[in-house]
Amino acid sequence: MKTPSTIKACCPPTGHCVDACTQDSCAAGERCDDTGGCVPASCDDGYACAADQRCFSAASYSDDHGCVPLRCTDGYVCPPGTRCINSSAGDDHGCGTDPCDGTQDPYQCPAGTHCDPRSGADVHHCRVWCSDTGCPVNQICNATESCEMKPCSADADCDCGYCVVGRCWANLGVCNYQGTGGTGG
């Protein structure tokens, strides 16, 4: 068998041949393979994975060097606002959103928000309550702490605008007579 220094490496798609690589001619993080070309160095062969990674080249989600994210169950420290949930292999080190209503180290909602996982909450289950902030004109704060159109029976029940089909609106809108089939005249 020829040694890498005596063979020529062909580079598709052009097909022109170049001198075979040497270990010194490959870029950092690469190695010279048996065909005379530079390829990513493997962590199995000594490539050093980043501090927040470990070598596991058999994993389908490993990078070109065989490195995978270090799991929080293996020592990775999750960033603030997340916790170790170890849910799936390719996620962010096994860290996930830490909800305010969680059982492990619950997230503390910022001032002006409440721990409330209902509709309108953020990823930590924090949301603003309309009883704290108020609602826009012609809306009221309902029992679920969300703004909704104010109910009415007459225009006078509305802050401004009109009572349309039992709710306050800023304008009357457009009537749509569907199904009449007529063209007038």
pLDDT score at 67: 92
Between strands 126-127 and 114-115, the pairing is antiparallel
Each residue of 8-22: pLDDT tens digit? 555 555 666 677 888
Q: Judge whether residue 35 has pLDDT over 80.
A: yes
pLDDT score at 123: 80
Each residue of 117-158: pLDDT tens digit? 877 788 888 999 999 989 999 999 998 888 999 999 999 999
pTM value is 0.47
Instruction: Pick left, alpha or beta for residue 51 (phi over 0 → left; psi -120 to 50 → alpha; otherwise beta).
Output: alpha
Q: Where are the domains of the chain?
A: 1-41, 47-97, 134-169
157: helix, coil or strand? helix
Which residues is 82 bridged to in the sheet? 97
Query: Rounded to an integer, what distance in angstroms lies between the CA atom of residue 178 and that of residue 167?
Result: 22
